[in-house]
Structure formats: C-alpha cells, structure tokens
Amino acid sequence: MNSFIMIQSITKTGVAWFVMLLFSSMSFTSCEKFVDVGHPKTQLLDSLVFQDFGTAETALLQVYIDLRSSYLANSTGRNFQFYVDDMHCYSNDPTHGTYKFFNNLLAETDESELAVHWDVPYSAIYKANKLLAGLENAGKLATASRNQLKGEALFLRALLYWRLANTFGDVPYITATDYRVNTNAVKSPREKVFEMVQKDVELAATLLPDNYPTTGRVRVNKKCAEAFLAQIYLFRKQWKEAEEMATNLISASSTYSLETDINRTFLKDSKEAIWQFAEANPGVPTQDALAYRLNVSPEDNVAYGVLTDDLMNSFETGDKRKTNWTGTFTLGPKSWNFVYKYKETKMVSTGSPEIYIVMRLSEMYLIRAEARAERENFPGAQEDIDAIRSKAGLPNTTAADKASLREAVMQERRHELFCEYAHRFFDLKRTGTITQVLGPKKPNWTDADIDFPISEKQKLLNPNLK
C-alpha cells in the first residue's frame, strides 16, 4: 500500500486517528515558536502509541509527509533553482517571492519565503524526536519492528538537518522533546551538524532492513542509508568511505542499474531509483510536471520559471539529457526552455507512471567518480564518468588528471541533476566555488548570500539564533 495513502486508511484503533490529529496539529503550532509545541502532555499518548507497531508507524509516516512537503516546496526545490544559475524568472515585482530568490534579495523579514525551509523541517524534526523517545520505552514492540522504525526516524531526522545546515549554515541540532529546551536552543557549527548527521545515519544503516518496508521504494531501507552516507562522506571529503558506499549501491546490480533508455529514468519502476517520494494521491501528476511545463508565456505569468541560456548552452551537442529532459515552448517569435524530466500532466486512474525520485544510481556513479579522482584513481574516475556520459549518448571523457576530472564531474552533476532539489546550490557551496560562479551572473550576489538568512521572526522568538 502507498505509504502516504496508508496513513489515511489505518482503522485498527482510534489511537491512530488521534496520532494523526496530534502530529498534524504540530505542523502548525511548532511554526509559531521555533519547535515549541506547548507544554507536552504525552504520557498517555506514549503508552498507547509506541507500544503498537501500527500506531507508531502512523506517527512515522507523518514525518515522511512533512519531509516531502519541505523537499517539494515549489516543486523539487524550485526556490534553489532560481537562487543559482539554472532557472530564470521574469518577475519585476520586488515583493514577489520568486523575484527575491532569483535576485538573491532574501532578507530576514521574508518570513513566508523562509518558513518552508526552516519551520516545516523543524516541525518534522520534533515529531521524529518524539517518536525516537517513545521507541526507547516501547517494550511491547518486537525488536525488529522497533529497529526498523528507529532507523527510519533517525534517517529522516538526519536528512532534515542535512538540508537545514546546507541551506542556513550553523543551526540548532535538537534531539530533545522538552519545549523549554527547544525554544532556547543554540546554534551548532555546520560541520558539527554534519558530524552528528553522519553518526545518526551510520546508526540507521545498522538498524534498517535490507528490503524496503513496503511495496515500492518509498520507505527507506539499508541501501538508502548507504546512499545518504555516500553523499555525506563526499561533502566531508572522506573520499575512501564515499567510494566504498557508492560502490555498495553500484554493485547491487540485482536491485539497481542505469536505465539504457533515458526516458525511463523518472518512472515509478525506474531501475535507477534508490528512494522515491510516494504520490500524495493516486493518479495525480507530479508537481514538477504541472509547474515546469510551459503553456503560456513566462513573461506574462511570472509564476513560471524557464531554464537559463547559461544551462542550455552548457550541454554538449548530442546530449540526450538536453533533448529528452528539457522542452521548448514557442509563442510567436519567442521560445523558452523548461524542465521536462517529469512529463505526465494528466490524471491517471490506474496511478501515475511517475513519482519523485529522491536518490538515484546515477548520483552514486558521480560520487564515486569524484572520490576516485581525489584518491588519484584516474582510470576508475573516468570509467564512472563514462557510464553516465554513455547513457546520455556522449563519447568518453577526455579528462585525465585530477583538475580536469574534478571539472568533468561537476559538469556531469550539473547536467544529470539539474533542477532536482538543491544539488546545484549545495555543490557550489561544498566546493567553495559559489561566489566565483554566481558572482559574474548575479548582479546582487555577495558572500552573505552563501547561506539563507534565518528569519527575523525566529530570532525574536529565540535570541540564541542571532
């Protein structure tokens, strides 16, 4: 059963509905006071919820839902695409949210633009912390069931912190559920957050099962944790570990493999999919397909974004990613390019053939290529780059030394992962090239734009955030 639809159909006990109501209400109250959800009155809730797998799982699924909402805000992180150099906005309205992201004019007063990147993640983190605390005393749960739920909660919490630290820099890392502690939390340095995220995911990898918990790949398993660890190790320049984790995924040929038909990459049954977000409702197209597909002039409807000439001109001749993953809308003498990775825009009664892919095998090849280049295994790095280029219909890379291989990997990451979540933004930040790349392209760019600002509202609620 679809994991997100499942939460609407649990009827085992009235407790499940109470959990849904309680956790849903947290999404709103926690936004008001950082992660303050009021004085917790949860002893009865804990005794009922966390002793039963079904109701504990319901609580877990609420964290998935919040994570999905945060990840897919304005499609797959469209705010980030405007913020960097992949997407152009035609708005001339300085009060328009997209205008602020595109022109790098985010300010502490832009609460509505920043909330989805801060408030929603911290609300989900509180729920994950509540679940983890409850599982510690869930003596009636079978060990395997408790380990699975704990592993998933640790993974999801870590991913939320990972994105927060990559977006805002230094952020509070909270594991407690005491509202008095949470409302006065102090910031941890970004690298310290990364360190704690790594520990959580390493623990999650020991707890999660090898198989996916439900049908499809919409709930995380051990391989998802290993894929996440490959990302973490890469960002933290732990090259040997990054290569080993990426190899674990690439070697799992019975489960994952590169699609030879590039148009199958983003289908529900894609062989490349490591982890996917389940559709919010059966048959509903992805937000990407609906939001990115142009059918009016983006100059008239500034809610739409178009791919920049900078991105389009960076593709090599014959690159299938350009011809298959981008589209063109023409009106009179003008044409605009748009993201076309997800193509289905109609309701499908049998269920949409496309659902969001969060982690996929192509990235593992690029992670391993970068790690191998840094470890001076140049033939190995070339082999991994060529696997991605071959799928795109391109000849083998000519890069042969560390500097050229680094550049080749970054170019392939841009073309393979464009407009998926925040890859471009995070890549430019972790390589220390963000100002060098965006400065000449963005008239308003300054070093202060490397991190999103924490909103003035949050700083007033918690002076430790200043």
Domains contained in the chain, number = 2
Query: Of 126-135, 192-201, 297-306, which has the strongest mean pLDDT?
Result: 192-201
Q: State residue 285's pLDDT score.
A: 87
Residues 262 and 182 occupy one common structural domain? no
What is the rounded average pLDDT of the residues 283-288?
86
What is the rounded average pLDDT of the residues 87-98?
90
Residues 219 and 204 occupy one common structural domain? no
Q: Which domain holds residue 188?
A: 1-76+109-208
DSSP calls for 251-300? T-TTT----SSGGGTTBTT-TTEEEEEPPSSTTPPPHHHHHH--SS-TTT
Of the candidates 262, 246, 270, 275, the one whose C-alpha atom is nearest the C-alpha of residue 383 is 246
Q: State residue 76's pLDDT score.
A: 61
Q: State residue 22's pLDDT score.
A: 46
Q: State residue 47's pLDDT score.
A: 55
Single out the residue in 152, 178, 208 at which a domain terminates.
208
- Is the pLDDT assigned to residue 431 strictly greater than 90? yes
Q: State residue 73's pLDDT score.
A: 63
Of the candidates 35, 31, 94, 456, the one whose C-alpha atom is nearest the C-alpha of residue 302 is 94
DSSP calls for 130-188? HHHHHHHT-TTS-HHHHHHHHHHHHHHHHHHHHHHHHHHSSB-------HHHHTTPPPB
Query: What token pair was written down for 18?
Result: 């109470």
Residues 297 and 349 occupy one common structural domain? yes
Q: What is the CATH number of the domain that holds 401?
A: 1.25.40.390
Averaged confidence pLDDT in the chain: 88
- Is the pLDDT assigned to residue 30 strictly greater than 60? no
Q: What pTM does this model have?
A: 0.90
Tokens 């008095």 locate to 180
- The rounded distance, in Å, linking the Cα atoms of 175 and 181 is 10
Q: What is the DSSP letter of 329?
A: E
Categorize the per-residue pLDDT at 10 as very low, low, confident or very high, splitting at 50, 70 and 90.
very low
Quick: pLDDT tens for 316-351: 999 999 999 999 999 999 999 999 999 998 887 777
Quick: pLDDT tens for 154-184: 999 999 999 999 999 999 999 988 877 778 8
Specify if 395 maps to a domain.
yes
- Is the pLDDT assigned to residue 223 strictly greater than 50? yes
Q: What is the DSSP letter of 354?
A: B
What is the rounded average pLDDT of the residues 108-136?
93
The number of residues making up the chain comes to: 466
Quick: pLDDT tens for 67-86: 888 887 655 678 899 999 99
Q: State residue 182's pLDDT score.
A: 77
Cβ 214 vs Cβ 193: under 8 Å: no
Single out the residue in 184, 208, 232 at which a domain terminates.
208
Q: State residue 247's pLDDT score.
A: 98
Q: State residue 43's pLDDT score.
A: 44
Residues 177 and 237 occupy one common structural domain? no
Residues 128 and 220 occupy one common structural domain? no
Cβ 362 vs Cβ 258: under 8 Å: yes
- The rounded distance, in Å, linking the Cα atoms of 53 and 108 is 42
Is the model more confident about 274 or about 13?
Answer: 274
Cβ 46 vs Cβ 8: under 8 Å: no
Residues 376 and 290 occupy one common structural domain? yes
